[in-house]
């Protein structure tokens, strides 16, 4: 996979040399190109921003540096045999970045990122490239960062670990919280490793039992507990067919019940008389 990032802070992308992404680069699974937007400015101050039309606070990133930088990155990629680029525009007004979207992006051969600063990029730049390639406007959460570089790191790491051969154990991401395709998207429960005692704290007995069925059930119950506590919205969205008899028992203990109007497969809601955890 080829990645291009255009930014006014190339040094902010240094973490792409480290850990999983760094190793994927070293192995040639990821071909990363970071471009300094200011290389496409021609005035003494290397200006990349200007005041907004219509007034208001803050500055807006100018069309010309972005247009030239993107044209250059794209031309370079095409010359070296890359194809089918997609533009990834980090913005708090984008669609939420989810595991499902990470999977979709991991299947593309070439991602071009446009992390902005100030109040963002002149809209005409996004509209222009949308005529040539798919554009994903992506938000990594309901908060506003000072710039999109951290979002690029987040998206890149989530995508890179899904690429074939990048994770040592290909199974690792199948059980992840938010693994897509499952009827029930549950959060992963707690995990433990050696030593068996630490500061007087032991390991849940089931995990030491060697009994695969009981361990799987324990993990599922813990996932249900964590999801009902931290992300009740995920339980409400779950296809109720995804819950087996034991899940339903655990959900009932946790204070959840199927919507009676939806019988035989009503979605689960927290009971009004819900049992506190
Ligand atoms: C200060 S923000 C601009 C915020 C803009 N006024 C708005 O409310 O949409 C500057 C840049 O940081 C990045 N950014 C900020 N928050 C983000 C988020 N939650 N997800 C992705 N990118 C974000 C985007 O690249 C954005 O253009």
137-159 pLDDT, tens digit per residue, is 999 999 999 999 999 999 999 99
Q: Which of 34-38, 163-167, 211-215, 245-249 is predicted least confidently?
A: 163-167
pLDDT at 277: 44
Q: Give the predicted TM-score (pTM) of the model.
A: 0.92
In this structure, are residues 268 and 236 in contact, taking their beta carbons and an 8 Å threshold?
yes
Give the C-alpha distances (Å, rounded to integers) separating 251 from 176, 179, 210, 218.
21, 21, 25, 13
Atom of ligand 1 nearest to the CA of 144: 16
Task: Give me the mean pLDDT over the 13-22 stretch.
Answer: 96
**Ligand 1 centroid from CA 90, angstroms:** 7
Bridge partners of 254, per DSSP, are: none
Q: Which of 25-39, 100-114, 251-265 is predicted least confidently?
A: 251-265
pLDDT at 168: 78
CA-nearest residue, atom 23 of ligand 1: 91
Which pLDDT band holds residue 56 (cuts at 50, 70, 90)? very high
Task: Give me the mean pLDDT over the 101-127 stretch.
Answer: 98
- 260 has a pLDDT exceeding 90: no
> Residue 99 and residue 105: Cα distance in Å, rounded?
10
Mean of the per-residue pLDDT values of the chain: 94
Is any atom of ligand 1 closer than 6 Å to the C-beta of 90?
Answer: yes
**Ligand 1 centroid from CA 115, angstroms:** 8
Task: Give the contacts of 237 (CB within 8 A, at least 6 positions apart).
Answer: 185, 267
Is any atom of ligand 1 closer than 6 Å to the C-beta of 61?
Answer: no
Q: Which of 193, 243, 197, 240 is nearest to 220 (CA)?
A: 243
Give rounded-to-5 percent helix, strand, coil for the chain.
40, 15, 45
Q: Is 43 in the active site? A: no
- 273 has a pLDDT exceeding 90: no
Q: Which comes out higher in pLDDT, residue 84 or 266?
A: 84
Task: Give me the mean pLDDT over the 96-120 stretch.
Answer: 98
Q: What percent of the chain has pLDDT over 70?
A: 95
Q: Which of 177, 158, 273 is nearest to 231 (CA)?
A: 177
Task: Give me the mean pLDDT over the 91-102 stretch.
Answer: 98
Q: Is 92 in the active site? A: yes
Q: With H, G, I as helix, E, B as strand and everything else as coil, classify residue 191.
A: coil
Task: Give me the mean pLDDT over the 36-48 stretch.
Answer: 98
Mutational test site, ligand 1, from 6, 92, 121, max ligand atoms within 8 Å of CB: 92
**Ligand 1 centroid from CA 199, angstroms:** 43
> Residue 61 and residue 253: Cα distance in Å, rounded?
54
């Amino acid at each position: 996979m080829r990645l291009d990032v255009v930014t006014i802070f190339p040094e902010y992308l240094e973490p792409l040399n480290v850990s999983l992404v760094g190793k994927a680069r070293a192995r040639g699974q990821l071909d990363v190109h970071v471009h300094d937007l200011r290389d496409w400015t021609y005035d003494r101050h290397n200006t990349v921003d200007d005041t907004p039309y219509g007034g208001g606070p803050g500055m807006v990133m100018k069309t010309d540096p972005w247009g030239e930088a993107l044209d250059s990155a794209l031309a370079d990629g095409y010359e070296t045999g890359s194809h089918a680029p997609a533009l990834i525009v980090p913005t708090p007004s984008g669609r939420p970045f989810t595991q499902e979207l990470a999977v979709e992006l991991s299947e593309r051969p070439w991602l071009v990122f446009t992390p902005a600063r100030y109040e963002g990029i002149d809209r005409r730049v996004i509209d222009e490239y949308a005529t040539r390639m798919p554009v994903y406007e992506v938000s990594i959460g309901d908060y506003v960062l000072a710039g999109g570089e951290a979002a690029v790191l987040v998206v890149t790491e989530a995508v890179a670990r899904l690429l074939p051969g990048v994770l040592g154990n290909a199974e690792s991401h199948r059980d992840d919280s938010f693994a897509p395709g499952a009827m029930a998207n549950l959060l992963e429960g707690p995990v433990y490793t050696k030593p068996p005692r630490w500061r007087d704290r032991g390991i849940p007995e089931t995990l030491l039992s060697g009994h695969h069925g009981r361990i799987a059930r324990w993990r599922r119950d813990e996932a249900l507990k964590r999801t009902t506590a931290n992300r009740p919205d995920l339980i409400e969205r779950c296809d109720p067919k995804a819950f087996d008899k034991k899940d339903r028992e655990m959900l009932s203990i946790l204070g959840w019940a199927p919507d009676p109007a939806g019988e035989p497969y009503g979605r689960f809601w927290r009971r009004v008389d819900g049992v506190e955890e």
